[in-house]
Structure 1
Amino acid sequence: MANDRLDIVIFGATGFTGKYVVKDAARFCKEHKLTFGVAGRRKEALEAVIKEFALDIKNIPVILADVKDEESLTKMTKQAKIIINCCGPYRFYGEPVVKACIATCTHSVDVTGEPQYIQTMQLKYNKAAQEAGIYIVSACGFDSIPCDMGIIFTQQQFGGEVNTIETYLNVWTANKNVKGSIINYGTWETAIHGVAHASELRALRTKLYPTKLPEFTPKLKSKILHKSDVSQGWSTLFLGADRSIALDTQRFLYDKYKERPAQVQTYVTFRSLFTFIMFAIFGMIFGLMTRTTCGCNLLLKHPALFSCGLVSHESPKPEAHEKTRFAITLKALGWTEKLAKPTDKHTNPPNKKVITKCSFVSTYNMTSIAAILSAFTVLKEADKMPDNGGVFTPGAAFGKTSLIEQLNKHDIKFEVISSIEK
């Protein structure tokens, strides 16, 4: 890879998430003496982002690129060692960037939470990325650094053999007086298309993993509504991307390193039963509407109406989402003893429980920092990453790097809460 390239180019720098990445990149790149540029369709808008968030850095290159213009993507990727792709929904706009990166031998990370897109890219481009010697790493933001890397952290800290991991997402607001939307419209749009096309996942997984994993026991059973001993309130299944991405990582660890994969289930916790009931009603309406084109169009046209004001066409105000706190608590059960082969079966019940947690403020701040640190890790620690290239989930790509340590230094905190042996 040519040394005259910029270290990082942020594509989609004028979008809601892209602006956060530019803001943090200005600080991080100055600290680490790395170069970066911004890319997108409109020169004036890109220059405005630089003026707002990176005015103290001189001569930041502005690169014009459009996902509908293959030549412009080629010119953009030729100028970078790694692309941070913030241009979604990725099911519509992600693949051209991946193709351009492979053609120009340029690494890429993105912040998608779209399992269908991720698995499609793995199927279509993993071999080509390996041959080009580049890493394409998806889901390097809220989806799914806290969960996927949290599971990796838990397995590393367990000191034995993990059988099951249950994750519990908690969200609360530090200032209840803050009004307005807290979720970006792009996230809403991605969720609508993701749910509408959820049926694609099974066929994709069958193509991606033609052989089934061995049967592991005791088997993890899902709980629709329950109270957990590690999460206060009422918990139900979390239908985001976390579980799908975590299972992809666990499958990779089994195939690549012959490590026993953890069975994973993800939950979200509500502080009251009333809140859960309201969420369940909203979820049913949302799910039914995504089954038809007309329903999807209504959701897209009237986000505030169908999200109880959590989403609007206007970008969330910083004081709204920056007062929102997040924590994922992970409950791991397994054995103190690790057997010789991943397919060997324990004859005794699990005798160890480890509780860990990943906590942070604001999904957008967290996503920005995680994406930048993921890009730094590719640039600095590729020798600790697998297969000399390929298309990966975060846990598969970064499990043996210092990414978790770096995240801890920047207020994305991974910690062990307790460890109990029977």
Structure 2
Amino acid sequence: MAAVTSSRPYHIIVFGASGFTGQFVVEEVARCTAEGPGGSLKWAVAGRSRQRLEGVLNQAARRLSMPELRTDIEIIVADVSIEESLAVMCQQGLVILNCVGPYRFYGEPVVKACIENGAHCIDICGEPQFLERMQLEYHSKALDRGVYVIGSCGFDSIPADLGILYTKQQFKGTLTAVESFLTITSGPEGGSGHDATWQSAVYGFADSGSLRRLRKRFGHKPLPVVGARVKKRGSVFFSKEIEQYAIPFMGSDPSVVKRTQRFLYEEEQQLPVQYSAYVGVGSLFSVVKLCCGGLLFWLMVKFSLGRKLLTTFPSFFSFGLFTKAGPTMKQIEDTCFSLTFFGEGFSEGKEPSESRPNDKICTRVIGAEPGYVATVSAMVQAAITLLNELHSLPRRGGVYSPGAAFSKTTLIDRLHNHGIKFSVRSYP
């Protein structure tokens, strides 16, 4: 039974609209509404404080020169700690864009309320423990209610997950393995992230043992390895591919991609792709600084006092990479990302085997500042895709990774038309 109906007053509700990321999501939804035919997308904002939400709409109205936002957009007061308020919010929207993090603390009540009240839920979570626990505990309930819960629809991990799908589509044959390298380029003022992302990292690393125990509860069998098994790189190495030092990427991308590959293997009988993710860190001096900071971080997250210090003074302990104020508009404007995929496989006509693959491909996903430009674009386009192409999503509902949910939709094309560009490159 599909619980979501078109009789609801709003297509999209931005929950947590007054938060740092939520403000950017509000502006992106407003822009997309203006682009659409006749302003057909109906939306509202939600959060704890009506006054702050009014301020966000006023700010968006000024920045976008859209004075109608001050009067035309409905405000819904909702709080994650008040179940009734979440229910009222979810009963009014087709899709809830949940911007309230860290999700390990505030995400589950929203997922639960969405499922119980028949609203689809999209978030931008980069916390594997939360994402995988929601799948374990709520997939069947969401499926029964005809509701889609799709996490990680931002930077962590839309570019990685859909980048793999794009690489697979472009490869003439059977793709068996991919390595990705992320580089972020900033202007003279550098770049920074908001405190909420830092908090997610602190508590995620502190509770990594719970993630291992959680994964055992799934009872998954290992995915088959097609082609030669790819060797993991070292903890720090010089990458010829991007001509700088690199380290394994510590975000949710590998977790999200693996969930997608498992879904495609089990549900679509597609051979899984091995995946390793790395991030460029620059010069040898940057490596030394990173190692010192990483060691200090690793020691401090083990103790409650250390975690308290890390979350109280994010700028100091992250060397300015994360701040309570978040990046300035100038920093955002001067920052961009590039995610390059180096894939290998068996060319068309050659049967996949355990031998070494005989063909290669290089693709790239590029975009503007990842945290507050690319992320909000990805989140909003995911919501619009869900609304317009519900028939192309798997089954009747459930909890999915982005690649699993959107593999048969036009989301890659939508992203490409909204600043997140996908392309095939020549292999170096």
Which band: TM-score by shorter chain? over 0.9
Alpha-carbon offset, residue 413 of structure 1: 0.7
Aligned to 1:202: 212
Match of 2:338 among 323, 327, 352: 327
Alpha-carbon offset, residue 277 of structure 1: 1.9
Alpha-carbon offset, residue 416 of structure 1: 0.6
Range moving further from structure 2, 125-134 or 53-62: 53-62
Aligned to 2:407: 399
Distance 1:80 1:338, change over 3 A: farther
Alpha-carbon offset, residue 368 of structure 1: 0.7
Aligned length: 413
Distance 1:209 1:355, change over 3 A: farther
Aligned to 2:303: 292
Q: What CA distance in whole angstroms lies between the structure 2 residues aligned with 1:287 and 1:396? A: 33
SS in 2 for 1:231: coil
- AA matched with 2:296: I
Does 1:223 pair with 2:230?
Answer: no
Percent of aligned positions that are identical: 39
Q: What CA distance in whole angstroms lies between the structure 2 residues aligned with 1:137 and 1:96? A: 15
Q: What CA distance in whole angstroms lies between the structure 2 residues aligned with 1:218 and 1:118? A: 30
Q: What CA distance in whole angstroms lies between the structure 2 residues aligned with 1:41 and 1:318? A: 25
Aligned to 1:384: 392
Q: What CA distance in whole angstroms lies between the structure 2 residues aligned with 1:143 and 1:347? A: 31
Q: What CA distance in whole angstroms lies between the structure 2 residues aligned with 1:392 and 1:87? A: 19
Q: Is the 8 A contact 2:48 2:79 kept in 1?
A: yes
Aligned to 2:13: 9
Aligned to 2:423: 415
Aligned to 2:60: 53
Q: What CA distance in whole angstroms lies between the structure 2 residues aligned with 1:330 and 1:164? A: 10
Q: What CA distance in whole angstroms lies between the structure 2 residues aligned with 1:347 and 1:23? A: 50
Aligned to 2:381: 373
Range moving further from structure 2, 62-71 or 226-235: 226-235
Range moving further from structure 2, 249-258 or 70-79: 249-258
- The 5 Å alignment of 1:11-26 reads 11-26=15-30
Aligned to 1:191: 201
Alpha-carbon offset, residue 191 of structure 1: 1.0
Q: Is the 8 A contact 2:225 2:274 kept in 1?
A: no
Alpha-carbon offset, residue 207 of structure 1: 1.8
Match of 1:352 among 349, 359, 363: 359
Does 1:270 pair with 2:270?
Answer: no
Q: Is the 8 A contact 2:227 2:357 kept in 1?
A: no
Alpha-carbon offset, residue 321 of structure 1: 2.7
Does 1:115 pair with 2:128?
Answer: yes
Match of 2:100 among 78, 87, 90: 87
SS in 1 for 2:208: coil
TM-score between both structures, scaled by the size of structure 2? 0.93
Q: Is the 8 A contact 2:227 2:356 kept in 1?
A: no
- AA matched with 2:74: P
Alpha-carbon offset, residue 405 of structure 1: 0.4
Q: What CA distance in whole angstroms lies between the structure 1 residues aligned with 2:285 and 2:216? A: 39
Aligned to 1:131: 144
Q: What CA distance in whole angstroms lies between the structure 1 residues aligned with 2:131 and 2:317? A: 27
Does 1:44 pair with 2:56?
Answer: no
Does 1:72 pair with 2:63?
Answer: no
Alpha-carbon offset, residue 83 of structure 1: 0.3
- AA matched with 1:376: I
Q: What CA distance in whole angstroms lies between the structure 2 residues aligned with 1:156 and 1:205? A: 29
Q: Is the 8 A contact 1:231 1:269 kept in 2?
A: yes
- AA matched with 2:282: R
Alpha-carbon offset, residue 205 of structure 1: 2.0
Range moving further from structure 2, 47-56 or 370-379: 47-56
Alpha-carbon offset, residue 4 of structure 1: 3.4
Unaligned 5+ segments in structure 1 are: none
Measured against aligned partners, the alpha-carbon deviations of 1:91-114 in whole angstroms (never above 9, x if no partner) come to: 111111111111111111000000
Distance 1:311 1:228, change over 3 A: closer
Aligned to 1:152: 165
Range moving further from structure 2, 24-33 or 35-44: 24-33
Does 1:304 pair with 2:315?
Answer: yes
Unaligned 5+ segments in structure 2 are: 62-66
Range moving further from structure 2, 33-42 or 155-164: 155-164
Alpha-carbon offset, residue 307 of structure 1: 1.1
Measured against aligned partners, the alpha-carbon deviations of 1:180-209 in whole angstroms (never above 9, x if no partner) come to: x62101111111111111222222222224
Aligned to 1:31: 35
Match of 2:324 among 310, 313, 316: 313
Measured against aligned partners, the alpha-carbon deviations of 1:48-93 in whole angstroms (never above 9, x if no partner) come to: 1111104333421100000000000000000100000000000111
TM-score between both structures, scaled by the size of structure 1? 0.94
Distance 1:221 1:69, change over 3 A: same
Measured against aligned partners, the alpha-carbon deviations of 1:363-415 in whole angstroms (never above 9, x if no partner) come to: 21111111000000110111111111110111111111100101111111111
Match of 1:239 among 226, 234, 250: 250
Q: Is the 8 A contact 1:335 1:352 kept in 2?
A: yes
Distance 1:8 1:264, change over 3 A: same
Alpha-carbon offset, residue 230 of structure 1: 2.5
**Displacement over 4 Å in runs of 4+:** none
Alpha-carbon offset, residue 347 of structure 1: 5.2
Q: What CA distance in whole angstroms lies between the structure 2 residues aligned with 1:144 and 1:382? A: 21
Q: What CA distance in whole angstroms lies between the structure 1 residues aligned with 2:144 and 2:211? A: 26
SS in 1 for 2:8: coil
